[in-house]
Copies of this chain bind each other. A is one copy, B any other.
Amino acid sequence: MADAPYELVYWPGIPGRGEFVRLAFEFSGVPYVDLARVPAAEGGGAAAVTKLLESAGAGLTPFAVPALRHGERVIAHTAAILQYLAPRLALVPDDEESRLRAHQLELTITDFAAEAHDVHHPIATALYYEDQRAEALRRAPFFVSERVSKFFRYFDRALDSNPDGGGRFLVGSRRSYPDLSVFHMIAGLRYAFPRSMPAHEASFPRLVALHDAVAKEPRIAAYLASERRQGFNQHGLFRHYSELDTTEA
């Protein structure tokens, strides 16, 4: 198992929830296979993702992706994947307190991401945005004002409750995976809500500094400049619909 390759199973064409996992690999410099980007002729592509969702083999078939395949193991749920990977990629301190802390932070990221998604899909994932636009228009102001503020306050306070972090690290005294995930949340929210984000950023300058510091980490900077980094677009978790980017709560 230690020698087995790491395979990320996630949809092609979007950063989405898979990006939280990609960032962990990219930051740590540990090789991984992004299955959807492997040519279909070599067993990859979207068909390979669909196949896993139909049957994972002997183990638990995931409800959804991202999933991580590592040898015989298939692990689904972003926070569970990162909890599994982090000790192997040196992305979390060794002690139990730090690991409990990191997992809770990541589970809150999961909730935050789900709410960001449901802004454009408040009725059903089975419907197009255009078919639930009226409801999205009503939901957006609550998310853009109250919820983003509440989540940002949580992560900002987390900086305070980490005595070893100097206001710069969420867990311990160096980079851990929740830092990378906060980076992705902020990057995604900036894409989706360019008009309303500046006010939040002004209120939480340490989170912006955290985002910027992650972007400048050498391996992350190289990744962001590479073709491996897929741009945000209108098919993923974070989407920009001008009409939802309101500054009025």
* A residues neighboring B (CB under 8 Å): 56, 58-63, 73, 75-77, 79-80, 83-84, 97, 100-101, 103-105, 107-108, 111, 114, 118, 122-124, 126-127, 132, 135, 138-139, 142, 146, 150-151, 154, 157-158, 161
Contacts and interface: CB of A to CB of B under 8 A. Distances in A.
Given A100-B75, A100-B84, A108 B139 contact: no
Contacts of A79: 107
B122 A104 contact: no
A56 B162 CA distance: 13
B100 A122 contact: no
Contact of A135 (B63, B107, B138, B158): B138
10 contacts: A58-B161, A61-B158, A76-B108, A77-B107, A80-B104, A122-B139, A124-B139, A124-B142, A126-B142, A135-B138
A73 B100 contact: yes
A154 B63 CA distance: 6
B59 A161 contact: yes
A79 to B, nearest CB: 7
B60 A158 contact: yes
Nearest to A67: B104
The 9 closest A-B pairs by CB, nearest first: A124-B142, A77-B107, A63-B154, A123-B139, A135-B135, A63-B108, A122-B122, A123-B138, A60-B161
Contact of A60 (B77, B101, B138, B150): B101
A138 B127 CA distance: 11
Contacts of A77: 103-104, 107-108
A68 B28 CA distance: 32
A243 B60 CA distance: 35
Contact of A75 (B61, B104, B122, B138): B104
Contacts of A123: 122, 135, 138-139, 142
Given A58-B161, A59-B161, A157-B61, A135 B108 contact: no
A104 B126 CA distance: 23
Nearest to A135: B135
Nearest to A76: B104
Given A60-B104, A63-B108, A63-B111, 4 more contacts: A75-B100, A80-B103, A122-B135, A124-B146
